[in-house]
């Protein structure tokens, strides 16, 4: 079940995108979300779509993997699209029932939302497939550094973040193991109504939480045993280096934004 989740998993490979600086990738992924909201017409979406597919092909990971990455989120997407479709504020009414009404503008918005969703998921998948979780945490630490001025605990937060990311696969494996153990004792996760299924979660969640606690305590002990102290300046093992390809990627994104703005205002 959990193995199907592609978003959030790292595929080590050697590609242009893999070699990029994690900071550049995080920044550009955020920029991408802002850029996509600048797009308001079909030509713009076409360019965005082609651009995104070009980026995915630069990662040397097959397009099929990205499509699989969209699948688990299909319900979220459908829900949002339907909300857009049925609750459009204005436009020419095409269909009407009780409080639902479908208008031409609503329909168009729904399709826009759908495309936006898919593109954003694909781009976020590019980030997580090509960047190790620890590199993302490092990048976020670096990007949060200005917050040190307002006494925000940047180092602690980034340490928490890297630990959390580090333990995601461990917890997933553990969940799978506990699920198997309880299934072997006759718990049925596949059948039954919603109440029965929610009840079936208790025998998973309690062992999972107790084990996570135990692990956290052990980790804390191990860190203290090696002299970890909060509030002390830290040296780092992995050093992020900004290369020319990162600047280039930023320039390409800038160019994309300019093209899209031109399309929006002049076509």
Partner 1 sequence: MGIKFESVSFTYQPQTPFAYQALENVSLEIPTNSYTALIGHTGSGKSTILQLLDGLLIPTEGLITVNDCRITPQTKQKTLATVRSQVGMVFQFPENQLFEQTVLADVMFGPLNFGKSKEAASRLAKEALRLVGLPDDLWQQSPFELSGGQMRRVAIAGVLALEPKILVLDEPTAGLDPKGRLEIMQMFAQLYQAKKLTVILVTHQMEDVLRYANNVIVMDTGKVVKTTTPLTLFADEKWLKQHQLATPKVIQFVQKMKQNGIELTALPTNVTELADLLMQKIKIEGDRQNDE
Contact positions vs partner 1 (CB under 8 A): 3, 6, 9, 11, 61-62, 64-65, 68, 174, 177-178, 180-188, 190-191, 202-203, 206-207, 210-211
Nearest distance in Å: CB 195, partner 1: 16
CA distances in angstroms from 185 to 15, 94, 200, listed in the order given = 46, 54, 12
C-alpha 174/C-alpha 178 separation (Å) is 6
C-alpha 170/C-alpha 219 separation (Å) is 13
Nearest distance in Å: CB 64, partner 1: 8
Closest to partner 1 by CB, 9 or 245: 9
Nearest distance in Å: CB 138, partner 1: 24
Closest to partner 1 by CB, 73 or 157: 73
The b/e string for 146-155 (b: 16+ C-beta within 10 A; e otherwise) is eeeeeeeebb
Q: Are 119 and 53 in contact (CB under 8 A)?
A: no
Closest to partner 1 by CB, 80 or 175: 175
Q: Are 2 and 226 in contact (CB under 8 A)?
A: no
Closest to partner 1 by CB, 199 or 243: 199
Chain center to CA of 158 = 17
Nearest distance in Å: CB 197, partner 1: 13
C-alpha 85/C-alpha 211 separation (Å) is 44
Closest to 84 in 3D by CA, of 56, 105, 53, 60: 105
Closest to partner 1 by CB, 165 or 208: 208
Nearest distance in Å: CB 22, partner 1: 20
Strand pairing partners for 103?
93
Closest to partner 1 by CB, 124 or 182: 182
Nearest distance in Å: CB 177, partner 1: 7
C-alpha 260/C-alpha 250 separation (Å) is 15
């Amino acid at each position: 079940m959990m193995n199907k989740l592609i978003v959030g998993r790292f595929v080590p490979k050697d590609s242009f995108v893999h070699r990029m600086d994690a900071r550049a990738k995080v920044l550009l992924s955020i920029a991408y979300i802002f850029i996509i909201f600048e797009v308001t017409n079909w030509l713009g979406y076409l360019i965005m779509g082609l651009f995104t597919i070009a980026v995915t092909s630069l990662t040397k990971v097959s397009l099929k993997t990205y499509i699989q990455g969209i699948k688990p989120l299909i319900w979220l997407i459908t829900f949002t699209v339907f909300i857009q479709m049925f609750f459009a504020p204005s436009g020419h009414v095409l269909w009407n029932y009780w409080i639902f009404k479908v208008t031409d503008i609503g329909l168009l918005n729904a399709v826009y939302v759908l495309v936006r969703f898919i593109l954003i998921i694909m781009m976020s998948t590019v980030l997580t497939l090509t960047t190790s979780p620890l590199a993302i945490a490092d990048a976020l630490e670096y990007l949060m550094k200005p917050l040190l001025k307002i006494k925000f605990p940047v180092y602690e937060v980034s340490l928490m973040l890297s630990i959390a990311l580090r333990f995601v696969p461990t917890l997933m494996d553990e969940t799978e193991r506990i699920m198997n153990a309880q299934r072997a004792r006759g718990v049925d996760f596949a059948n039954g109504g919603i109440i029965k299924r929610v009840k079936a979660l208790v025998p998973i969640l309690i062992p999972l939480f107790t084990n996570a606690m135990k692990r956290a305590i052990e980790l804390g002990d191990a860190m203290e045993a090696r002299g970890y102290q909060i509030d002390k300046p830290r040296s780092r093992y992995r050093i992020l280096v900004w290369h020319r390809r990162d600047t280039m990627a930023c320039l390409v994104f800038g160019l994309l934004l300019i093209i899209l703005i031109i399309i929006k205002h002049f076509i």
